[in-house]
Structure 1
Amino acid sequence: MTDSSAETTTDSADIQTELDRDIGLVGAVALGVGTMIAAGIFVLSGLAVSNVGAAAIVSFLAAALVASFTAFAYAEFAAIYPESGGGYMYVANVFDTDLTYIVGWSMILGYPASAAFYLASFSDWFYRFIYPALSIPQAIPYWIAGLVVLALLVGVNLKGTEETGLFQIVVTGLKVALIILFLYGGLQGFDASVVTSSMTENLNDLRQLGLTTALVFITFFGFEAIATNAEEIEKPSENIPRAIFISMGFVTVIYALVVVVIVLAVNNGEFLEFLAQQAGLSGSEAAKNFVAQNGEISMGRAAQYYLGDFGFYVIIVGALFSMLSAANATILAGSRVKLAMARRNHLPEQFEDLHPSLNTPYKSVLLTGGLITFYMLVFTVLLGTPPGAEEGATMGVNNFLSSLGLGLHVPHVFHLGLHAVTHFADFMLLGGLIFVNLALIQSRRKRPNIDRGFTVPFVPWVPIIAVVANLVLLVNVEPKAFVVGLLAQVIGVGFWFAWKSTDPEETQFERETPTVVTEREPSDGREYQLAVPIANPEHVEQMMQTAIDIAEDRDGELLVLSAALVPEQTPISESYRSVDDEREVLRKAMSYAEDSDVPVNGIVRIGHRASDAILHTVEQHDCDAVLIGWRGRGSHRREVVLGSTVDRVVKESPCDVLVEKIGSQSADTDSVLVPTAGGPHAELASKAARAVAHAEDATVEVAHVVSPLASESERESAREIVAETAALIDDVSVTQSLLEGENVADTIVERTDDHDLTVIGATRESELQQLVFGALPETVGQRADSTIIMTKRHLDITSRLAQWLP
């Protein structure tokens, strides 16, 4: 055998795809509070009060309760999977299917929509309150401020998470102090009768309560921002659950108090007169109508009334920074979802790239910024109306078309605005949360004994309640936003199929399970190639001997595979650390072929699942067969027969499959038993038996089991089957036998004691009647003490229906 050379196919830049953990508990709480106390408290609290008065407290509490049920699931998952990606990553880790792409798609659209709401609110307040204060010309479009801030935030996120986390802590601390100042001023004139009266008047309007609860739900989504950045949070199993519940509990109390203050203000005659003067309105009645139509600035005007002009501008500046920090946290979380999707091959690989010097997922950040810009322009500029415009005012797109002198007009039915982008964000995010709760139930069933760090009580009831609650909010989303959300999902499915149709299968394999080491030996163009995955070092010699015997018989070559595996929650890049160990396993296996004439190539692949590494190798290298080892024990799980890896390889390999269980006694192979019932799988078994027997100078017994009560015609048919199989085994000594027994499996297992090796083909039942090889080979494999090889011919059946029918 010639000297082999190691080849690394992934450069060092790709190996360093890890994000430093530099966000502590305080930073994690700041992420949550910073996202929840933002445009939600300064804008949505006023909108909620204009919708349902003091009953807005009920809407906020209901939204918080619904969010809390799902936050339980996030707390448990974040402790198990401390990896960036949040809800998408949890669902993807539990459900091994590409359908989880839809969850990721919902998240990568929902996060930017949330940020667009925050920045559109920023533009609104900046235009109404800062333009006049700084004498900024009204001719400068109101949305310019939001886009400028967006560019700054994208730059901050490109810089890195350490700067982002510190920035988040400082800004969050400042705005909490400002809100406490606002509450101090507003609660001085607390009147319980005003609050209870407003509550009573609105509690019966269930439809408005439902719409308002759906509207304000976005304010409590900060818990997702915490979990999504799990990969960068210190001690995630401890800090993430703590941060989630600390931030949610604190924010819920703050929101209830803010609603009380706003209710007190809008029901105060003196405040209404003050507002009429400030806004140039005719009187208190006009002020009431103004509040109803401009609820998003109610808190700002209330602050001006309670705290005076100085306090007013302090609150305004605090509100603007609050919206800014929420948008920042959302951009951070949204970019990490894209990074996680790229790692899972659910987005193009470019979005997994980290900046060579900043070590940030800069392409994901830029895409998030682009989506936010799109939402702001479409929802609030083109299909929205300027701040303070009367209801039914001309949309921005129509003003633009008129300025061009075109006779086109977009009907007002397409009007969206701030409400719509908020509801759209809720629609996309709620859909993802439903799947997260379903994933929690499946996780408990799939991995009941895993160390969870934090455990949700009363599963499955808590996640079931969460699913129902999220569905209730989902159907209460504004109809226009609901339709736009459905359209966005259709576009997502279309993008998936369009992208995958242009992504070569081999490229996909290398992204999911990269080849990091290749040991090559010159080949003389042999047509037959047998893949040999190596897992148990103790059985390497026996496995390689079997593989060499088969390859020599077919004048073929071997492809030896070793997989460097890491847990699902760990990035692929982590497994590069164990490549050297796998390289040694590979070289040891290949060394057994040094004295043979069989060319041997070897590769090390990395990934999360051994079955993926094996199947990708077999498909990518177009192998003719795969020989995989089996420990010889069944599984307590009903759907698993030989083990999840072996089962999947047997079922999905696009080639012949041989599964070898090493016997309890290691000895030379002097005799081989071939039980046969005819058919293509028995034919493969006979060829494998012939290869081993020829190489080891062993004898072969071909046998068929008949009932003691079998008729002569039945016995004759059995002899014909045995003879046909024996004819395939030439150049070795073969005997033909009819074995009598009431139970076929028992009879064959008993006969295996007389032989060193048994080779048995899969039974010919349909998939409705068998799980992997069929009941007979699996029973023999599990019960026999000697070495067993089970074979399954690849029949290239393209119709799934044909596989499921007898």
Structure 2
Amino acid sequence: MVDGSERTAVRITVPRRSVDSDVDSSLRSGPLIRTPEYTVVVPVTDVLLDTEAQSNVRPFLRTAVALAADNDGRVLLLGLETVPNDASLETVRRYLRRERSANSDAEVPETVEKRRKHVARIAERTRDLEPSVPVRPIVRVVSDTTDGIRDVIDDGRETAVLLLRDTGFGEDGRRSVGTIDSILTDAECDVFVETPSVRGEETPLYVPDVEDHTVASIAESEAKPIDSILLPVGGGPHAALAAEAARALARAVDASVTVLHVIPPDAPTQTAAEGTEILKFAEYVLGPDVTSEVELREAPETADEIVREAKTHDLTSIGAPEQQSRLEQLVFESVQQTLSELNGTTVLMARDADRTTRSLYYRWKRGIEASGDERESVN
């Protein structure tokens, strides 16, 4: 049973009616407190509550917490409650105005209150994963899921969003694909998309009937531990962010990382040298606190080789493929086709909002450190 304290712990917000409206104070409402700048936004959708879901969301929440911890940030659980039209949104706005006034008897719409209870429960379990990471839950009432997410993630500078692929945004995942594609294309923040392992025997972590005490405890749920992470790297603009994600998870669960770069057989010496440099760069981003090994491997098809190697790891962290890349097979194909082939591994895809800026920063920092080492050796 969710008590009254959880009602007040989860705020309800709605989009602005216009750019001049101050009805929605959004994430700024409440007492002024110091909050970390880096925020991992996690849309809480029906997949976390679906009795038919066959994925365990504990690893997904663990990813969010790990990304936040690696950046000294926080997790924002964004509970999305969809209403059919603007008239329904206005009903919620009227409720919020009454709730903030002296009229304490105002009743929250039933569906919104139900969502608030669910989000409060998930927030409690997310905090159990790493108590040092701040977790903030809100309910966002929207008429369009995609717009609702983008309205929040485009509101801050140091923000990332973590999406769960193929489930939770509509029947058969069709709306999920559209939402993810839209955010990947247009979002002004870093985007992570996790495609979880699918095992037919797993039961869902959360179910919607809170009143009948059928919500499973996240602490009691069984999830496959992450012992090994594969980090395939190339020269693309998202490789550094994928390395950061691998670093965050490796630190959180004490996993080892295999950094892999694939080149064609009989590649020229320059190609091999460039591959070696890419591996060294990724190893630098991972840092000394992560146990890692690097491998430069020859194979005729890069994507096929990555899929084969991914089968021997628990999670694969990979940068978003460039258009027309064959790596789209690994990242964007259906769960049934790809993950059954990957034998239960999880794929975490990263899209860097700054594209080359992050890579340039690490290369600059690495060069500065190397110059300092040279000066010390001369002295």
> Taking structure 1 as the reference length, what is the TM-score of the superposition?
0.33
Asked if the contact 1:654/1:796 (under 8 Å) is kept, the reply is no
TM-fit CA distance, 1:544:
1.5
Verify: 1:724 aligned to 2:281, yes or no. yes
C-alpha separation between the residues in 1 aligned to 2:274 and 2:37?
36
Equivalence map 1:511-522=2 (5 Å): none
**1:549 touches 1:692 (CA, 8 Å); kept in 2?**
yes
Structure 2: how far apart are the matches of 1:718 and 1:521? 51
Amino acid at match of 2:332: E
Within-5 A mapping of 1:152-231: none
Output one character per residue of 1:289-338: Cα deviation in whole Å (capped at 9) or x when no partner: xxxxxxxxxxxxxxxxxxxxxxxxxxxxxxxxxxxxxxxxxxxxxxxxxx
- Alpha carbons of 1:8 and 1:630: their partners in 2 closer, same or farther (altered >3 Å)? closer
Counterpart CA distance in 2 for 1:757 and 1:743 is 21
Match of 1:30 in 2: none
C-alpha distance in 2 between matches for 1:675 and 1:521 = 44
The correspondence for 2:245, drawn from 671, 688, 693, is: 688
Tell me what 2:301 maps to.
743
Alignment-mate amino acid for residue 758 of structure 1: T
In the alignment, is the contact (CA less than 8 A) between 1:661 and 1:788 conserved in 2? yes
Aligned to 1:643: 177
Taking the aligned partners of 1:780 and 1:702, their CA distance within structure 2 comes to: 25
Task: Report deviation, 1:662.
Answer: 1.0
Measure the CA separation in 1 of the matches of 2:269 and 2:135.
50
Tell me by how many angstroms 1:713 deviates: 3.0
For structure 2, which runs of at least 5 residues remain unmatched after alignment?
Answer: 49-54, 93-108, 200-222, 357-379
Q: Is the 8 A contact 2:164 2:193 kept in 1?
A: yes
> Taking structure 1 as reference, are residues 725 and 793 closer, same or farther at Cα in structure 2, changes over 3 Å only?
same
In structure 1, distance between residues paired with 2:248 and 2:43: 20
Name the CA distance, whole Å, in 2 between partners of 1:559 and 1:740.
42
* Mapping 1:616-655, distance limit 5 Å: 616-631=151-166, 643-655=177-189
Q: Is the 8 Å Cα contact of residues 6 and 518 (structure 1) preserved in structure 2?
A: no
Q: 1:657 matched to which residue of 2? A: 191
Corresponding pairs, count: 294
Identity of aligned residues (%): 29
2:292 maps to which of 709, 730, 734: 734
Alignment partner of 1:788 out of 331, 347, 364: 347
2:152 and 2:80 map into 1 onto residues whose CA distance is: 10
Matched residue SS, 2:60: helix
Matching residue's letter, 2:253: E
Matched, 1:707 2:264: yes
Q: Which letter does structure 2 place at the counterpart of 1:630?
A: R
Alignment of 1:407-806 (within 5 A): 503-504=19-20, 510=24, 524-535=34-45, 536-537=47-48, 539-567=56-84, 571-572=88-89, 576-591=109-124, 592-594=126-128, 595-631=130-166, 643-665=177-199, 666-730=223-287, 731-765=289-323, 769=324, 777-779=331-333, 783-784=338-339, 785-795=344-354
Contact 1:523/1:599 (8 A) holds in 2: no
Secondary structure at 2:354 match in 1: coil
Relative contact order, CA 8 A, sep 6+: which one is greater?
A: 2
Q: Is the alpha carbon distance of 1:709 and 1:570 closer, same or farther for their aligned partners in structure 2, counting shifts above 3 Å?
A: farther
SS of the counterpart of 1:612? helix
Cα shift at 1:739: 3.0
Aligned partners of 1:520 and 1:600 also within 8 Å: no
Q: For 1:779 and 1:654, how far apart are their aligned partners in 2?
A: 24
Counterpart amino acid of residue 184 in structure 2: V
Structure 1 residues 583 and 641 mapped into 2: Cα distance closer, same or farther (>3 Å)? Answer: closer
Q: Take 1:564 and 1:547, find their aligned partners in 2: how far apart are those partners?
A: 21
| Distance change in 2, residues 1:521/1:695 (3 Å) | farther
1:105-137: CA deviations, max 9, x gaps? xxxxxxxxxxxxxxxxxxxxxxxxxxxxxxxxx
The answer to which structure has the higher strand fraction is 2
Deviation (angstroms), 1:540:
3.7
Extract unaligned runs of 5+ from structure 1.
15-343, 350-499, 798-806
Q: Tell me the CA shift for residue 741 of structure 1.
A: 2.5
- Maintained 8 Å contact 1:677/1:704: yes
Structure-2 separation of matches of 1:796 and 1:753: 28
Q: CA deviation at 1:657?
A: 0.5
CA gap of 1:523–1:545, structure 2 versus 1, over 3 A, is farther
Deviation at 1:612, TM superposition (A): 1.2
- For 1:588, the aligned partner's letter is R
Q: Distance between the aligned counterparts of 1:578 and 1:618, measured in 2? A: 24
| Contact 2:43 2:149 (C-alpha < 8 Å) held by counterparts | yes
Compute the RMSD of aligned alpha carbons: 3.7
The residue identity in structure 1 corresponding to 2:240 is E
TM-score w.r.t. the length of structure 2 is 0.67
1:377-388 correspondence runs (5 A) = none
- CA positional deviation for 1:709: 3.4
Matches within 5 A, 1:250-329: none
SS at match of 2:286: coil
SS at 1:758 equivalent:
strand
Deviations 1:44-82 (A, max 9, x none): xxxxxxxxxxxxxxxxxxxxxxxxxxxxxxxxxxxxxxx
Q: Against the structure 1 CA distance between its residues 580 and 704, is the aligned structure 2 distance closer, same or farther, given a 3 Å change threshold?
A: same
Deviations, residues 152-198 of structure 1 (Å, cap 9, x unaligned) = xxxxxxxxxxxxxxxxxxxxxxxxxxxxxxxxxxxxxxxxxxxxxxx
